[in-house]
């Protein structure tokens, strides 16, 4: 089972990373509304992430673990700054009432990682008007690189 589902401290750290990332373009009230809507609509699903970034260029792949139930992959080139080569598991959540809306409306992402007592990776998925519609959160023990960046692109049905 995913560590994020079992540990409230890890959930708080992931939420804080999401808040910091959204603070660049949203007010505190807008962020609070997003966090509230995201938490009450659909339970997050287990997902996997692969990211490689060297300097300003990289590649990111995110997919639900249950590809039979959720046959979608977000796999695109990312730009930003960092040095990371990471595979991890985490939670994928959305503020929509159905996963179909999330898969079809995602047009871009912002991603970041921080090192606290453990490494946290966060991705925020946006629709075309810049409104966040979902996120991926993961906590990684052990070695972790650093990165911040973004990319355009949507989910592809497999």
- The secondary structure element, H or E, covering residue 36 is helix 28-41
SS3 call for 138: strand
CB 136 within 8 A of CB 65: no
CB 42 within 8 A of CB 96: yes
Block means of pLDDT (10 residues each) for the chain, 158 residues, are 57 75 83 76 86 91 96 96 86 88 96 68 91 85 74 96
Which tokens sit at 79?
């730009």
What is the model's pLDDT at position 138? 85
What's 3-157's CATH class? mainly beta
Contacts of 75 (CB under 8 A, 6+ apart): 59, 60, 61, 62, 63, 153, 156
What would the pLDDT profile of 71-81 be if each residue is shown by its tens digit?
999 999 999 99
What is the model's pLDDT at position 39? 66
What is the model's pLDDT at position 5? 57
SS3 call for 13: helix
Query: What pTM does this model have?
Result: 0.79
Interatomic CA distance for residues 69 and 81, integer angstroms: 34
Q: Where are the domains of the chain?
A: 3-157
What is the model's pLDDT at position 154? 97
What is the model's pLDDT at position 141? 59
């Amino acid at each position: 089972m995913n560590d994020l589902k079992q540990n409230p401290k890890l959930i708080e750290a992931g939420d804080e990373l999401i808040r910091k990332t959204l603070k660049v373009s949203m007010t505190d009230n807008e962020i609070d509304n997003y966090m509230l809507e995201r938490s009450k609509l659909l339970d997050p699903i287990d997902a996997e992430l692969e990211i490689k970034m060297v300097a300003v260029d990289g590649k990111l792949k995110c997919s639900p673990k249950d590809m039979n139930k959720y046959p979608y992959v977000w796999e695109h080139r990312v730009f930003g700054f960092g040095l990371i080569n990471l595979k991890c598991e985490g939670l994928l959540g959305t503020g929509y009432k159905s996963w179909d809306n999330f898969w079809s409306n995602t047009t871009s992402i912002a991603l970041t990682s921080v090192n606290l007592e453990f490494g946290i990776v966060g991705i925020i998925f946006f629709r075309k008007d810049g409104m966040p519609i979902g996120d991926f959160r993961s906590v990684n023990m052990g070695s972790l690189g650093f990165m911040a960046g973004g990319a355009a692109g949507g989910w592809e049905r497999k």
